[in-house]
Amino acid sequence: MTAPLLSVRGLVIEFDTAQGRRRVVDGISFELGEGEVLGILGESGSGKTVSTLAVMGLVEGNPGVVGGEVTLRNGAESLALFEGLEGVIKRRAGKPDRKNVRRWQRMVSRRMRPLWGEMMTAVFQNPRHSLDPLLTIGVQVEESIALAERSLDRAGRRARAVEWLDRVQMSDPERVYRSYAHELSGGMCQRAMIAVALARAPRILVADEPTTGLDTTVRAEIVGLFEDLLADRRRSMLYISHDIREVLHLSDRVIVMRHGRIVEEATAEDLRAGRGERDPYTASLLAAAELGEAL
């Protein structure tokens, strides 16, 4: 792996439910290298979404992230984004009561907010709901451009937005520029969302089940699009999916989550080639995937 850009150590996430406190992420550690695509694979409910939301500082409340550390490295500089609630409480000899939980949450979001966007942006499942229904696609792409390329004037931003819509392979970028989300198909909305995210020029793109809910052909097109957009290895990606074929197709390295734990970590190449001892759950996923079939 190249120099790690993001490092997650011992992340623990818990939620209070009617049945008591539930630990949904149980001490996971992973790193993401510069220019690397890390696939996160696992069945529904295994903790993929909540782990990556935590990394972005977006798990709010009830208690949320109770343990662990997240660090971003910027060249020789290392920036501790946050430590889990337990670490903070221990250092300050406090109690994990409501007041301290809220104080800690405010601290995390204060620290994370300026980084959100510049360091990391995300593309989620159900792009139609992530786009603003009241703004044209063009305006939304331009909002990202205005933050990432401050020197551009209005005409420059417009030209760049159309360029981005072209880069995400919209067949008529000028028309899409003027369109609203409800006028586009699901696949086009996801392309638009990817343009909005990438125009922000993040160092890390988080893609959480970006193809779920789309037709098979459209899914393959979106996976192909990610492949093209990341080919220059100028940004890193966390690619989350329950679809092993998508993950193996796109990733350099893969972690497999189950019941809030990482049960496997391997290079995509080794997994594809069937090399090495596999955890039984990973082996069953590989067996079920009919890997001979092209994506």
Ligand X SMILES: Nc1ncnc2c1ncn2[C@@H]1O[C@H](COP(=O)(O)OP(=O)(O)O)[C@@H](O)[C@H]1O
Q: Supply the minimum distance, in Å, between the C-beta of residue 11 and ligand X.
A: 12
Report if residue 45 touches ligand X, rule: CB under 6 A. yes
- Number of residues located near Mg ion, criterion CB under 5 A: 2
Q: Supply the minimum distance, in Å, between the C-beta of residue 46 and ligand X.
A: 4
Q: Which of residues 21-40 bind ligand X (CB under 6 A)?
A: 24
**Residue in the shown chain whose Cβ atom is closest to Mg ion:** 49
Q: Which is nearer to ligand X, 51 or 136 (CB)?
A: 51
Q: Which is nearer to ligand X, 41 or 194 (CB)?
A: 41
Q: Supply the minimum distance, in Å, between the C-beta of residue 140 and Mg ion.
A: 23
Q: Which is nearer to ligand X, 21 or 113 (CB)?
A: 21
Torsion sign over Cα 116, 235, 256, 70? negative
Q: Which of residues 32-61 bind Mg ion (CB under 5 A)?
A: 48-49
Q: Which is nearer to ligand X, 48 or 253 (CB)?
A: 48
Which amino acid type is present at position 273?
A: A
Position among 15, 111, 126, 272 found at the interface with ligand X (CB under 6 A): 15
- Residue 15: name its binding partner from Mg ion, ligand X, none (Cβ under 5 to 8 Å by kind): ligand X
- Residue 24: name its binding partner from ligand X, Mg ion, none (Cβ under 5 to 8 Å by kind): ligand X
Report if residue 136 touches Mg ion, rule: CB under 5 A. no
Q: Which is nearer to ligand X, 49 or 251 (CB)?
A: 49
Report if residue 42 touches ligand X, rule: CB under 6 A. yes
- The secondary structure of 102-156, three-state, reads HHHHHHHHHHHCCCECCCEEEEECCHHHHCCCCCCHHHHHHHHHHHHCCCCCHHH
- Residue 42: name its binding partner from Mg ion, ligand X, none (Cβ under 5 to 8 Å by kind): ligand X
Please report, as ranges, the residues that interact with Mg ion according to CB under 5 A. Answer: 48-49
